[in-house]
């Protein structure tokens, strides 16, 4: 988007909201576009190309000034939150399923962590989910919005999020994903020139974590556990929740086979 200066040639303008709070804003040209949440091979390919362009900008910078984001740190904190949930009142089958899920999550975390000896160069990363990208009617990207989470990370972590988002075939709330779309994104990213075989386990585990240990899953798990403590019938819903996300994880990891 192209920034537009206010009439007084300042960099920012100030507006007042309905409750009297003042906001300092940047102005940009209006972009006509729409969201694509049910993806095609073409949209997945274009996102792969865009990601490669954004990441390659980093190659020409001696030092990235953005903060480094390691998603595994957040995943570990969320896992700790779930491990502290009281499981003593759960029926034994539910308790076992919950513990198995937490053990699986820890295994993926152990695989996904960036090695301390890694020499991977940080790359620019932003929140390129389906609601932050605008498309025209010919499935070309015309704009990117919401740069609140811009930072630096490593390519494998960023690609895991992009695969999860752009392998979806039925919309943003669906767990249905397509291996064809994942392959299209990676092919047009030209991943063989950058990802080496030893990093493949990291990509699979990061992909699992992005879909199965994210904030939505953690908050929903906490709520269901709380509800079930007050109504034991709720443990059936808790068990179904875990089964749903176990299946989602299998589908996500299966995208790379």
Residues 57 and 175 grouped into a single domain:
yes
Residues 75 and 152 grouped into a single domain:
yes
Residues 110 and 140 grouped into a single domain:
yes
With residue 135 as reference, give the H or E element that holds it: strand 133-135
Using CA atoms, how far residue 236 sits from 17, 101, 212, 249, in Å, is: 46, 16, 19, 20
Percent of the chain with pLDDT over 70: 92
Residues 131 and 176 grouped into a single domain:
yes
Q: What is the mean pLDDT of the chain?
A: 88
Residues 127 and 175 grouped into a single domain:
yes
Residues 164 and 49 grouped into a single domain:
yes
Q: What is residue 147's predicted lDDT score, i.e. its pLDDT?
A: 72
| Average pLDDT over every residue of 211-229 | 95
| Average pLDDT over every residue of 29-56 | 90
Number of structural domains in the chain: 2
Q: What is residue 1's predicted lDDT score, i.e. its pLDDT?
A: 55
- Output the six-digit token pair for 77: 């904190």
Residues 17 and 54 grouped into a single domain:
no
Q: What is residue 179's predicted lDDT score, i.e. its pLDDT?
A: 95
What range does the domain containing 12 cover? 1-30
- The pLDDT tens digits of the residues spanning 46-57 come to 999 999 998 888
Residues 40 and 23 grouped into a single domain:
no
Q: What is the DSSP string of 99-131?
A: HHHHHHHHHHHHHHSPPTT--PPPEEE----GG
Q: What is residue 30's predicted lDDT score, i.e. its pLDDT?
A: 75
- The pLDDT tens digits of the residues spanning 101-141 come to 999 999 999 999 987 766 677 888 888 999 989 999 998 99
Residues 24 and 37 grouped into a single domain:
no
Residues 12 and 41 grouped into a single domain:
no
Q: What is residue 65's predicted lDDT score, i.e. its pLDDT?
A: 75
Q: What is the DSSP string of 138-184?
A: TS-EEEE---TT-EEE-HHHHHHHHHHHHTBSS-TT---B-HHHHHH
Q: What is residue 196's predicted lDDT score, i.e. its pLDDT?
A: 66
Q: What is residue 246's predicted lDDT score, i.e. its pLDDT?
A: 97
Q: What is residue 64's predicted lDDT score, i.e. its pLDDT?
A: 63
Higher pLDDT, 163 or 172: 163
Q: What are phi and psi of 244, to 5 degrees?
A: -60, -45
Own/partner pairs, 15-18, CB within 8 angstroms, 24+ separation? none
Residues 26 and 81 grouped into a single domain:
no
Residues 154 and 181 grouped into a single domain:
yes
Q: Residue holding tokens 């152990």?
A: 110
């Amino acid at each position: 988007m192209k920034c537009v200066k206010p009439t007084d040639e300042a960099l920012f303008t100030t507006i007042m909201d309905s409750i009297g709070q003042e906001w300092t804003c940047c102005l940009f040209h209006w972009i006509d576009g729409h969201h694509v949440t049910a993806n095609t091979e073409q949209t997945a390919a274009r996102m792969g190309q865009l990601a490669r362009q954004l990441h390659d900008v980093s190659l020409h910078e001696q030092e990235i000034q953005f903060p480094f984001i390691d998603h595994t740190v957040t995943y570990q904190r969320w896992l700790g939150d779930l491990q502290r949930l009281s499981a003593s009142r759960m029926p034994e089958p539910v308790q076992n399923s919950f513990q198995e899920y937490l053990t699986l999550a820890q295994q993926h975390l152990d695989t996904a962590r960036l090695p301390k000896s890694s020499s991977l160069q940080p790359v620019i990363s932003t929140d390129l989910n389906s609601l932050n990208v605008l498309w025209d009617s010919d499935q070309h990207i015309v704009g990117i919005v919401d740069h609140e989470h811009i930072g630096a990370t490593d390519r494998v972590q960023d690609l895991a999020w992009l695969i999860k988002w752009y392998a979806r075939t039925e919309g943003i709330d669906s767990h249905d994903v397509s291996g064809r779309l994942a392959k299209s994104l990676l092919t047009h990213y030209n991943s063989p020139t950058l990802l080496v075989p030893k990093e493949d386990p990291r990509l699979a585990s990061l992909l699992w974590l992005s879909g199965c240990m994210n904030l939505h899953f953690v908050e929903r798990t906490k709520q269901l556990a709380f509800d079930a403590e007050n109504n034991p019938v709720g443990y059936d819903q808790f068990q179904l929740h875990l089964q749903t996300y176990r299946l989602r994880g299998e589908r996500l990891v299966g995208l790379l086979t």
